[in-house]
Amino acid sequence: MLAKHSFISGLGRLTSHSPSSSSSSVLRRQQFLVRTLCGSQISRAMSSTSEADAESVLRTVTPSLDPKRHKGQAGKIAVIGGCREYTGAPYFAAISALKIGADLSHVFCTKDAAPVIKSYSPELIVHPVLEESYSISQLSEEDQRKVQDKVLGEVDKWMERFDCLVIGPGLGRDPFLLECVSKVMILAKKFNVPFVIDGDGLFLVTNSIDLVHSYPLAVLTPNVNEYKRLVQKVLNCEVDEQNAEAQLCSLAKQIGGVTILRKGKSDLISNGETVKSVSIYGSPRRCGGQGDILSGGVAVFLSWAHQLKSDPESPSENPAILGCIAASGLLRKAASLAFTKHKRSTLTSDIIECLGESLEDICPAS
Tell whether 47 is covered by a domain: no
Query: Binding residue per annotation — 142?
Result: no
pLDDT, position 93: 98
164 three-state secondary structure: strand
Average pLDDT, the chain: 89
- pLDDT per position as a tens digit, 238-260: 999 999 999 999 999 999 999 99
Q: How far is CA 51 from the centre of its chain?
A: 20
CB 164 within 8 A of CB 299: yes
- pLDDT per position as a tens digit, 77-130: 999 999 999 999 999 999 999 999 999 999 999 999 999 999 999 999 999 999
Phi-psi group of 49: left, alpha or beta (phi > 0 → left; psi -120 to 50 → alpha; rest → beta): beta
pTM: 0.86
Query: Binding residue per annotation — 283?
Result: yes
Sign, CA torsion 202/352/102/121: positive
Query: Binding residue per annotation — 285?
Result: yes
Q: Name the least confident of 27-41, 58-72, 244-258.
A: 27-41
pLDDT, position 125: 98
Tell whether 134 is covered by a domain: yes
Query: Binding residue per annotation — 140?
Result: no
Confidence of residue 3 (pLDDT cuts 50, 70, 90): very low
Query: Binding residue per annotation — 215?
Result: no
Run of H or E including 179 = helix 175-190
Tell whether 40 is covered by a domain: no
Tell whether 17 is covered by a domain: no
pLDDT, position 4: 39
pLDDT, position 311: 72
Confidence of residue 196 (pLDDT cuts 50, 70, 90): very high
- pLDDT per position as a tens digit, 197-246: 999 999 999 999 999 999 999 999 999 999 999 999 999 999 999 999 99
- pLDDT per position as a tens digit, 133-150: 999 999 999 999 999 999
Query: Binding residue per annotation — 101?
Result: no
Query: Binding residue per annotation — 157?
Result: no
Tell whether 299 is covered by a domain: yes
Query: Binding residue per annotation — 123?
Result: no
Query: Binding residue per annotation — 229?
Result: yes
Query: Binding residue per annotation — 233?
Result: no
Tell whether 242 is covered by a domain: yes
- The identity of residue 236, as a single letter, is N
Query: Binding residue per annotation — 105?
Result: no
- The total number of structural domains in the chain stands at 1
Picking from 174, 209, 175, the residue whose alpha carbon sits closest to that of residue 185 is 209
CATH number at residue 315: 3.40.1190.20
Sign, CA torsion 195/154/90/60: positive
Task: Tell which wins on pLDDT, 163 or 21.
Answer: 163
Query: Binding residue per annotation — 10?
Result: no
Residue 218: domain span: 54-63+71-361
Tell whether 266 is covered by a domain: yes
Confidence of residue 287 (pLDDT cuts 50, 70, 90): very high
Tell whether 241 is covered by a domain: yes
Cβ density class 110-139: b for 16+ within 10 Å, e for less: bebbbebbbebeeebebbbbbbbeebeeee
Query: Binding residue per annotation — 309?
Result: no
